[in-house]
Amino acid sequence: MLLFSSMNTATTLQNPRTIEYSREKRPGSDFLFRLFLILLGFLLLCLIVLLKSYTATDFRKDPIILLYTVLVTTFELSRIMSAMLFPSIRRKIAAAKVVRDNYEPTASFVIPCKNEGEAIAKTIDKCYAADYPREKLEVIVINDGSTDNTAEVLERMKIKYPDLTVVHWKVNRGKRHGMAEGFKLSKGEIIVQLDSDSYIDPKTFRKLIEPFANPEIGAVCAHADPENADKNILTKMQAAYYFMSFRVLKAAESTFMSVFCCSGCSSAYRREIVVPILDTWLKERFLGLPVTWGDDRALTNWVLRQGYKTIYTDEAKALTICPDTWKIFFKQQTRWKKGWFVNSVNAAKFIFKREPFVALTYFYPLIAITLITPFMAVRAFVYNPIYRDVTPLFYVIGVYLIACIMVIFYRLIARENKYWPYMFVWSTINMVFLSFILFYALATIQNRKWGTR
């Protein structure tokens, strides 16, 4: 078993791209395809410059608006730019000496769950199937007051995997408490935190652990895709969004080794960093009430705050379930926005001291832009047409041009990913609706209920 897995490791190392997304096209056509995309990208850049230059006439009297549009465009492009630089830093991490020396620390899966009788068995199976020495793995499941057959399923799994640790709580105490409990019980050097409906592709598990060979790295976020992507237009759209937010936005953050959110569905933490701050993390409050969302962001914040690096790797693949109804989707979005806001306020306090470059080039602009964008959308769609007789056409063109650039990059790095057309759907919904959810989220920030459960 050990022999087998180490052989497997060797092959993986020789060929670090042994991931699901294999390229089956002929190299020739692939080259032409990429050339075409790159040329198209340049064309679009020219169009964007042209658009800015053209609309600048209207903005002559509003230099602040002009500054805003230039900054937003630059910001979006800077994300793509950093995402393009991401492979370089990933190679650098993978090339570390300890990784080559077959770095294999012990690892613990921590899975808090509530009423997940259907999904949990598969999640546990996948944990144990990980391409990793079995004796170095540990799985801890916290049954957080489930009222369905979860307890029963877990007991069955305990027979199948005698070393499975299961904690049953009669009363629901919340995800954050479940995570903390699991972290405390764990013994592995690395803690892999999973949502009950997500799992890591066993073949790529090792890639999630490897970066920890670098002692500066405190947390690693895996690439997540929705497993139920093909269900309907909403899930397809989210599949595109997941790809963008992981492979572009998180990758971009990872280029400077400061990922601000190692997602709750599939991230790994170095135990020695996380355990000491667990109690503080549990007691976090915002405006006097305990924080019930954004646990993953909060935890990542703590890692960054202690001066460790956080990265994303596209080589470790996780699959999760995304909302398939609009209602749940909006609830989830609202929760995420709340989490984003609360934890961004927290991070804003320390990030400049820790990572001044990231703070100035990314973090503070991001906060500013996220907060201003809805106002600009209202200005473009309501104020300008009614009071100034200015068409929102150019605003819309600008948004879609940026979306096009994103899609071109999307196609360049993952030609086989078929969900790219839905980026435009996402852009549309984001432009007319999602950016406003932030305000709804802020208005209801004192409502600490979970939402999707």
Partner 1 sequence: MERHITKIKIFFTVSMAIWMVLVVATTKNRVLEKQVARAERQTQYMRYKFEFSRGQNLPTLASVGALIASVFKEPESAISAEATSSALRAEAVPILLYHGIVSKPDRFSLTPEAFKEQMFALKREGYETVRLDDFIQFVRGEKDLPEKSFLLAFDDGRVDSFEEADPILQALGWSSVMFVATRQSFPETGINEYYLNKNQVADMAKSGRWEIQSHAVQLTGGAIEVDKLGNRGNLLSNKMWLTDLGRLESEEEYIQRIDNEFTLSKQAIERLLGTSVRAFAYPFGDYGQDSENAKGLAEETIRGAVTKNYEVAFQQTWDKDNFFSENFRGLEPDFYRLRRVEPASTWSGDDLLAFLKGAASKMLSYSDLLTANNGWKNPWGAMEFNGQGLHLMTSPETTGSFAFLDGTRGWTDYLYTAKIEKEKGDYVTLFARYQNDDNYVSCTFGDRYVKIDEKEDGVLHTLIEDENPIHTPPEGAYYGIYVNGSEVKCYEGGAVAVLSFGFDDKLSSGGIGVRIWDEALNNGAIILSSLQVVPSNEANSVLDALPLYNR
Q: List contacts with partner 1 (CB under 8 A).
A: 49-50, 52-54, 56-57, 60, 66, 70, 73-74, 77-78, 81-82, 85, 88-89, 92-93, 214, 216, 255-257, 357, 361
Instruction: Please identify, using beta-carbon distances, which residue of 310 and 320 lies nearer to partner 1.
Output: 310
Exposure of 275 in the CB half-sphere (CA atoms within 13 A): 15
User: At its nearest, how many Å lie between partner 1 and the CB of residue 257?
Assistant: 7
User: At its nearest, how many Å lie between partner 1 and the CB of residue 49?
Assistant: 5
Instruction: Please identify, using beta-carbon distances, which residue of 38 and 442 lies nearer to partner 1.
Output: 38
DSSP string, 12-31: HHH-TT-SS----S-HHHHH
User: At its nearest, how many Å lie between partner 1 and the CB of residue 12?
Assistant: 22
Instruction: Please identify, using beta-carbon distances, which residue of 350 and 394 lies nearer to partner 1.
Output: 394
Q: Which residues on neighbouring strands pair with residue 193, listed in sequence order?
A: 110, 267
Q: What tokens were used for 136?
A: 């170095």
User: At its nearest, how many Å lie between partner 1 and the CB of residue 21?
Assistant: 24
CA–CA gap between residue 329 and residue 215 (Å, rounded): 38
Instruction: Please identify, using beta-carbon distances, which residue of 21 and 400 lies nearer to partner 1.
Output: 400
Instruction: Please identify, using beta-carbon distances, which residue of 216 and 279 lies nearer to partner 1.
Output: 216
Instruction: Please identify, using beta-carbon distances, which residue of 266 and 310 lies nearer to partner 1.
Output: 310
CA–CA gap between residue 108 and residue 237 (Å, rounded): 33
Instruction: Please identify, using beta-carbon distances, which residue of 63 and 276 lies nearer to partner 1.
Output: 63
User: At its nearest, how many Å lie between partner 1 and the CB of residue 93?
Assistant: 8
User: At its nearest, how many Å lie between partner 1 and the CB of residue 73?
Assistant: 7
- Residue among 268, 230, 237, 211 at smallest CA distance from 96: 211
Instruction: Please identify, using beta-carbon distances, which residue of 310 and 334 lies nearer to partner 1.
Output: 310
DSSP string, 117-169: TTTHHHHHHHHHTSSS-GGGEEEEEEEES--STHHHHHHHHHHHSTT-EEEEE
Instruction: Please identify, using beta-carbon distances, which residue of 7 and 81 lies nearer to partner 1.
Output: 81
What does the H/E/C string look like for 238-270? HHHHHHHHHHHHHHHHHHCCECCCCCCCEEEEE
The backbone torsions φ and ψ at residue 125, rounded to the nearest 5 degrees and listed phi first, read -55, -45
State in Å, rounded, how far the first CA of the chain is from the last one: 40
Is 324 strand, coil or helix? Answer: coil
User: At its nearest, how many Å lie between partner 1 and the CB of residue 333?
Assistant: 29
The answer to whether the beta carbons of residues 81 and 251 sit under 8 Å apart is no
Burial class of residue 203 in the structure, from the number of CB atoms within 10 Å of its CB (0-12 exposed, 13-18 middle, 19+ buried): middle
CA–CA gap between residue 380 and residue 69 (Å, rounded): 12
User: At its nearest, how many Å lie between partner 1 and the CB of residue 89?
Assistant: 7
User: At its nearest, how many Å lie between partner 1 and the CB of residue 42?
Assistant: 12
The backbone torsions φ and ψ at residue 48, rounded to the nearest 5 degrees and listed phi first, read -65, -45
